[in-house]
Amino acid sequence: MSARVTLSDVAARAGVSRATASLVLRGEGRVAGATRERVHAAMAELGYVYDRVAAAMRAEHAPVVGVVVSDITNPFFAQALVGVQAALREEGYLPLLGSAAHDLDQQDRLLGLLREHRVAGLVLSPVAGTPASLVERLRAWGLEHVLLTQPVDGASTWTVAPDDRLGGRLAAEHLLQVHGCRRLVLVGASGDVASARLREAGVRDAVAAVAGASVVAALGWLPQDPTGLALGRSAVAGPLALPPDAGGPDGAVCFSDVVATGLLRALREAGAAGALPVTGYDDIAAAALYEPPLTTVSTHGEQLGRTAAEGLVGRLRRGAAAAAPQELAVPPQLVVRQSCGCA
């Protein structure tokens, strides 16, 4: 029956015009709630199914938003995607997800495919080293977009990201002021990743404000190490091989919760569990379940994703954005648990 039912049939059953029924289906226009309910009830009674593919073919863009993240295996992105999907669903858009796996070529291929599918917009968490020319390319395509989690060096565009410099400072200040640490090791630092550079700058801001404090080592991030364990073992065999009372680090600031758990695992393997305070970053869902529970910096991943998607949809609804691009830095929050030594 559904194959023979038309939108005109639905409109007649609901007692509205075909144009009004169409507005209800597309989620557009100001249609009274009672009218919307009648239209949806008529659809259910008649077995009508809205053909979004056909509607997209008639429109300039499909009601689909491309979402590309740098690493789908990172639990932080799962949180952010929950927010992105919720916001898009509420506005009648379908997310089309791709993971670039820290690969610039893969990111370019995904963006090209999304363009071919005529997506209405793009939420992009850029791969480390993404050039400013990519943003210019998106503009040349006429593809409305927002960067999520970190900016692209040299590019001015819509961006929603944590205030990572503040986040790094919050983690370091806790170790310095509460636990009396004076020699910090940074685990997972990276000059190629904008967010990591900002976190490191925040840590060094905090260290510079405390007499006698210093950063004694900064270990680079390993994108091929999804559990953080290899990096943790490198830290244990390197800077942490020298104990604090012999001049080694007396506190560790990790640049993600995944890295922090890898370091904690490596310390346990070496028989040094609890040997020094450790902080993570992101406050992923499992952070409170680790042993010990992670002291970390919450970047509010789900809210970041929702904010980015809502801003994008708002610009899509308004057409060409009149305002200049904005970079929204969302304040993070220190979450104190036990990995730092707090009770």
Q: Where residue 22 falls among pLDDT bands split at 50, 70, 90? A: confident
Task: State both tokens at 49.
Answer: 């199914």
Please state, in angstroms and rounded to a whole number, the distance separating the CA atoms of residues 141 and 137: 6
Q: Sign of dihedral through CA atoms 306, 63, 316, 28?
A: negative
pLDDT in tens, 284-334: 999 999 999 999 999 999 999 999 999 999 999 887 555 688 999 999 999
Report residue 161: phi and psi, to 5°: -150, 160
The number of helix segments (H) and strand segments (E) in the chain equals: 12, 12
Q: What mean pLDDT do residues 256-275 have?
A: 96
Would you state the pLDDT for residue 53? Answer: 56
Largest CA distance in the chain: 84
Asked if residues 251 and 276 have their Cβ atoms less than 8 Å apart, the reply is: yes
* Contact call for residues 219 and 234 (beta carbons, < 8 A): yes
**Is residue 70 predicted with pLDDT exceeding 50?**
yes
Q: Is 164-300 in the same CATH topology as 7-50?
A: no
Contact present, 158 and 145 (Cβ < 8 Å):
yes
pLDDT at 1: 39
The pLDDT-based confidence of 166 (bands split at 50, 70, 90) is: very high
Tokens of 7: 């939108």
Closest to 186 (Cα-Cα) out of 257, 258, 251: 251
Instruction: Please state the three-class secondary structure of 186-208 as a single string.
Output: EEEECCCCHHHHHHHHHHHHHHH
pLDDT of residue 31: 78
Query: Which DSSP category does 183 fall into?
Result: E
CATH code matching the domain that covers 164-300, chosen among 3.40.50.2300, 1.10.3720.10, 3.20.20.70, 3.30.479.30: 3.40.50.2300
Contact in structure between 142 and 129 (CB atoms under 8 Å): no
Alpha-carbon span 240 to 249, nearest angstrom: 6
Choice between 16 and 240, residue whose per-residue pLDDT is larger? 240
**Distances from the Cα of 2 to the Cαs of 5, 39, 157, in angstroms?**
5, 15, 45
Residue 55 has pLDDT above 80, yes or no: no
Q: What is the pLDDT of residue 2?
A: 41
CATH fold group of domain 7-50: 434 Repressor (Amino-terminal Domain) (1.10.260)
pLDDT at 322: 52
pTM above 0.85, yes or no: no
Q: Answer whether residue 11 shows pLDDT above 90.
A: no
Mean pLDDT on 169-174: 98
Q: How far apart are CA 61 and CA 252, in angstroms?
A: 48
Q: Is the predicted pLDDT of residue 23 greater than 90, yes or no?
A: no
Specify the fold of 59-161+302-330. Rossmann fold (3.40.50)
Measured CA to CA in angstroms, residue 240 lies from 48, 146, 236, 247 at distances of 66, 40, 5, 10
Q: Where are the domains of the chain?
A: 7-50, 59-161+302-330, 164-300
Residue with tokens 């961006």: 159
